[in-house]
């Protein structure tokens, strides 16, 4: 796991419960780590770090939630509540500032549940959180992956372990999402490869960074 200065700052934020607004043309990134990772931004934090290095004035905030495999539904639900609060706080505290959401594995499901509402079987239903501030969304290894969506990236063809039942509720933000899922992924493609599931930052990290930059810098 890459633990950089900005990842460390994100961890300090999650422990201190304070949120800063980006400055200048910077963006506010809210990042949900994968299952079993230590508190902080986790491996997907490397993508946030790369964006921050190219967009001065940006901030990185880690979602403070259990991220456990045991009692997964409860953990994921707490993640949804925590990210929802962060999104709402950012929208209120930083009006006009651009927001980027990122999530890996369980964190990706958390992110989509915030944006689209929770509709997966076995999970408590929640409503979508509207925010015009969201400029880009990066997902990696999303267990709620639904095939044949315009925002899907990667080579996967199958649904995830907990496929989303109501994809229409994501309509307002689909043009701002890039969901990376590759063939054989144990969780997002219902395959049998943990190695594929853990490889997205290395395999797709540069594409994810480029996607975010294209959205926040207005090149698409």
Q: What is the pLDDT of residues 42-101, one digit of tens each?
A: 999 999 999 999 999 999 999 999 999 999 999 999 999 999 999 999 999 999 999 999
Banded pLDDT at 16 (limits 50, 70, 90): very low
Average pLDDT, stretch 3-28? Answer: 62
Residue 98: its pLDDT value, please? Answer: 96
Query: What radius of gyration, in Å, describes the C-alpha atoms of the chain?
Result: 15
Residue 157: its pLDDT value, please? Answer: 95
152 pLDDT higher than 50: yes
Q: Nearest-5° angle of CA 148, CA 99, CA 205?
A: 55
Residue 4: its pLDDT value, please? Answer: 41
Banded pLDDT at 169 (limits 50, 70, 90): confident
Which ranges constitute the DSSP H helices of the chain?
Answer: 5-16, 45-54, 72-93, 106-116, 194-197, 200-216
List 145's β-bridge partners, or say none. Answer: none
Contacts of residue 85, defined as CB under 8 A and 6 or more positions apart, other chains included, come to none
Residue 18: its pLDDT value, please? Answer: 53
Average pLDDT, stretch 196-219? Answer: 94
Average pLDDT in the chain: 91
10 pLDDT higher than 70: no
CA dihedral of residues 170, 171, 177, 179 (deg, nearest 10): 60
CATH architecture of 28-217: 3-Layer(aba) Sandwich (3.40)
111 pLDDT higher than 70: yes
Q: State what percent of residues in the chain have pLDDT above 90.
A: 83
CA dihedral of residues 20, 21, 22, 27 (deg, nearest 10): 110
For 50-59, 151-160, 169-178, which range has the lowest pLDDT when averaged over its residues?
Answer: 169-178
212 pLDDT higher than 90: yes
Task: Provide the 10 A C-beta neighbour count for residue 163.
Answer: 19
Residue 6: its pLDDT value, please? Answer: 44
Q: Which pTM was predicted?
A: 0.90
């Amino acid at each position: 796991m890459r633990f950089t200065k900005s990842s460390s700052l994100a961890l300090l934020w999650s422990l201190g419960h304070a949120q800063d607004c980006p400055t200048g043309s910077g963006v506010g990134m809210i990042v949900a780590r994968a299952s079993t990772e230590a508190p902080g931004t986790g491996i997907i934090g490397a993508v946030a770090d790369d964006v921050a290095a190219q967009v001065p004035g940006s901030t990185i905030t880690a979602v403070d939630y259990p991220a456990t495999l045991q009692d997964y539904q409860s953990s994921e639900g707490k993640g949804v509540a925590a990210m929802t609060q962060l999104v709402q706080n950012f929208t209120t505290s930083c009006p006009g500032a651009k927001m980027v959401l990122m999530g890996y594995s369980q964190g990706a499901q958390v992110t989509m549940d915030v944006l689209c509402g929770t509709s997966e079987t076995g999970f408590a239903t929640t409503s979508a959180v509207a925010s015009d501030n969201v400029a880009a969304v990066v997902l990696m290894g999303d267990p709620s992956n639904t095939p044949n969506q315009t925002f899907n990236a990667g080579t996967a063809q199958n649904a995830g372990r907990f496929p989303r039942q109501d994809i229409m509720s994501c309509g307002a933000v689909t043009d701002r999402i890039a969901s990376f899922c590759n063939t054989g992924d144990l969780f997002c493609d219902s395959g049998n490869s943990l190695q594929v599931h853990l490889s997205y930052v290395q395999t797709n990290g540069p594409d994810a960074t480029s996607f975010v930059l294209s959205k926040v810098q207005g090149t698409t």
